[in-house]
Amino acid sequence: MKIAENIYYVGVNDRNKERFECLWPLSNGISYNSFLVVGEKIALIDTVDSRFFPLFIEKIKEVIGERTIDYLVINHMEPDHSGSMGLIREYYPEICLVGNKKTLQMAEGFYREAGKTFCVSEGTTLDLGNLSFTFFLTPMVHWPETMVTYESHTKALFSGDAFGCYGALNGSVLDSTIDIEPYFPEMIRYYSNIVGKYGCQVQMALKKVCQLELKMICSTHGPVWTENIPHVLREYNRLSLYEGEPGVCLVFGSMYGNTMEMAECVAEGLVRGGLKNFSMHKLSRTDPSYLIADAFRYKGLLLGAPTYNNGLYPLMDHFVTDLQHRMLKNRLIGCFGSFSWAGQAVKKLVDFASSPGMELIGEPVEMKQGFSFEIGEKCRLLGESMAARILE
């Protein structure tokens, strides 16, 4: 598939994979994107998961016939992008692997030998004759060896996992030719699940990327961005600054329904306070990847859970730990919970809300044993307090 002058898409769709990294659900599959840049010399940008190599090599041959590939540029060494490296070398034994020092070390570690190599550093260029690459290092977005490759003639940025998203590609790869609305929520979910911890490093990468004239961003997952480049860059900037949009992610756990009643009243309070933009999730029914995505998306977090084994309800404890591991900050947090004989859940949620970069909103609501009208009204007031703070 030709996507620009001298650039061809040779990636593949994986519609069978159920979980990315065996963790994150893929309701619509995922793409592994690879690109051929065909000038006087030919460069292959990243490869695909090795399970798809027969299809991959067919696509390459369809574009270049019996010509050889001179360079294999590896922007990211995760096996879903580097897995076909050794197989490619069997077809093109003189191919030169292009990567930075850490890339080449990883190539040796994963695949035992890197073969012919060209080691790049910040600002190194590579001449293809009528085309030219410049390489920029973007460490910890989201591995230590990650880098991006810029082709100055076509103004195309090959960005590795940066700016990617979940979801197989339907019929085309260019954002201008497909319905891209389903991909934007999956970009947030992908970022928050995979890259979320590295906001500082993403900011440093954005400073480099935003100095370039960009007509095309070619990520290793999801659509090739052309007309949506400004939106994608804005989203990455917002997410990496941990800036939530005006709204609330309401997450609760409930064993027998009492804490769920509290959550319903909190939601009533949000609406009573004039807030429409919020999501509501029961922990035992929603995969954590969607919870993490909404926590990154919205400015407000309302967390409710019962006490369990003299601690926090396990699913809520896991969710809070996920957010801490991703360094989430700049959030407004409200807390509620229940207990039967010894209360701990609300205390632990308040501890989380009191950590640096967080702001506790309203009066935490704690319920002992059964639900009551008074408890319901306190929950509504908590929701109203959050709505008022969000809408300021």
Residues 281 and 229 in one domain: no
Tokens standing for residue 104: 């080449």
Average pLDDT over residues 289-306: 97
Residue 200 belongs to some domain of the structure: yes
- DSSP assignment of 146-196 equals -EEEEETTTTEEEEETTT--SB---S-SBTTTS--TTHHHHHHHHIIIIIG
pLDDT band at 339 (very low <50, low <70, confident <90, very high): confident
Phi and psi at residue 280, to the nearest 5°: -135, 125
Predicted confidence at residue 111, as pLDDT, reads 84
Residues 64 and 21 in one domain: yes
Residues 323 and 232 in one domain: no
pLDDT surpasses 90 at 60: yes
Residue 294 belongs to some domain of the structure: yes
pLDDT surpasses 90 at 205: yes
CATH of the domain at 32: 3.60.15.10
Residue 245 belongs to some domain of the structure: no
Residues 228 and 278 in one domain: no
Dihedral sign (CA 290, 292, 297, 299):
positive
Predicted confidence at residue 186, as pLDDT, reads 96
Residues 226 and 258 in one domain: no
pLDDT single digits (tens) 74-126:
999 999 999 899 899 999 999 999 999 999 999 988 888 768 999 999 999 99
Predicted confidence at residue 115, as pLDDT, reads 81
Phi and psi at residue 22, to the nearest 5°: 60, 25
Average pLDDT of every residue of the chain: 95
Residue 117 belongs to some domain of the structure: yes
Residues 186 and 140 in one domain: yes
Residues 188 and 268 in one domain: no
Predicted confidence at residue 101, as pLDDT, reads 96
The residue with greater pLDDT, 59 or 344, is: 59
Q: How far apart are CA 199 and CA 212, in angstroms?
A: 20
Tokens standing for residue 70: 């001179």
pLDDT surpasses 80 at 390: yes
CATH of the domain at 315: 3.40.50.360
213 CB burial (10 A radius; 0-12, 13-18, 19+)? exposed
Phi and psi at residue 203, to the nearest 5°: -60, -40
Residue 35 belongs to some domain of the structure: yes
Domain boundary residue among 207, 240, 273?
Answer: 240
Query: Residue 191: which of 299, 75, 330, 292 has the closest Cα?
Result: 292
Cβ within 8 Å of residue 71, ≥6 positions away: 41, 42, 43, 44, 95, 96, 97, 98, 118, 126, 128
pLDDT surpasses 80 at 187: yes
Query: Residue 78: which of 164, 192, 15 has the closest Cα?
Result: 164
Predicted confidence at residue 303, as pLDDT, reads 98
pLDDT surpasses 80 at 138: yes
Domain boundary residue among 193, 208, 240?
Answer: 240
Q: How far is CA 119 from CA 45, 96, 133, 271, 342, in A?
A: 15, 10, 13, 57, 61
Residues 187 and 335 in one domain: no
Q: How far is CA 118 from CA 26, 83, 315, 357, in A?
A: 36, 19, 47, 43
Average pLDDT over residues 338-356: 91
Residues 232 and 316 in one domain: no
Residue 22 belongs to some domain of the structure: yes
Residues 284 and 324 in one domain: yes
Query: Residue 278: which of 223, 329, 332, 351 has the closest Cα?
Result: 332
Predicted confidence at residue 137, as pLDDT, reads 97
pLDDT single digits (tens) 316-334:
999 999 999 999 999 999 9
Q: How far apart are CA 338 and CA 343, in angstroms?
A: 7
pLDDT single digits (tens) 11-39:
999 999 999 999 999 999 999 999 999 99
**Domain of residue 328, residue span:** 250-390
Domain boundary residue among 240, 262, 293?
Answer: 240
Predicted confidence at residue 250, as pLDDT, reads 98
What does the chain come to in residues?
Answer: 392
Residue 202 belongs to some domain of the structure: yes
Residues 232 and 254 in one domain: no
pLDDT band at 176 (very low <50, low <70, confident <90, very high): very high
Query: How many CB atoms lie under 10 A from the CB of residue 275?
Result: 22
pTM of the model: 0.92
Q: How far apart are CA 210 and CA 219, in angstroms?
A: 16
Residues 166 and 194 in one domain: yes
Predicted confidence at residue 253, as pLDDT, reads 96
Helix axis angle for 314-325 and 288-297, nearest 10°, is 50
Predicted confidence at residue 112, as pLDDT, reads 80
Structurally, the chain folds into a number of domains equal to 2
pLDDT surpasses 90 at 340: no
Query: How many CB atoms lie under 10 A from the CB of residue 392?
Result: 6
> What percent of the chain has pLDDT above 90?
90
Residue 124 belongs to some domain of the structure: yes
Average pLDDT over residues 301-310: 95
Predicted confidence at residue 219, as pLDDT, reads 97
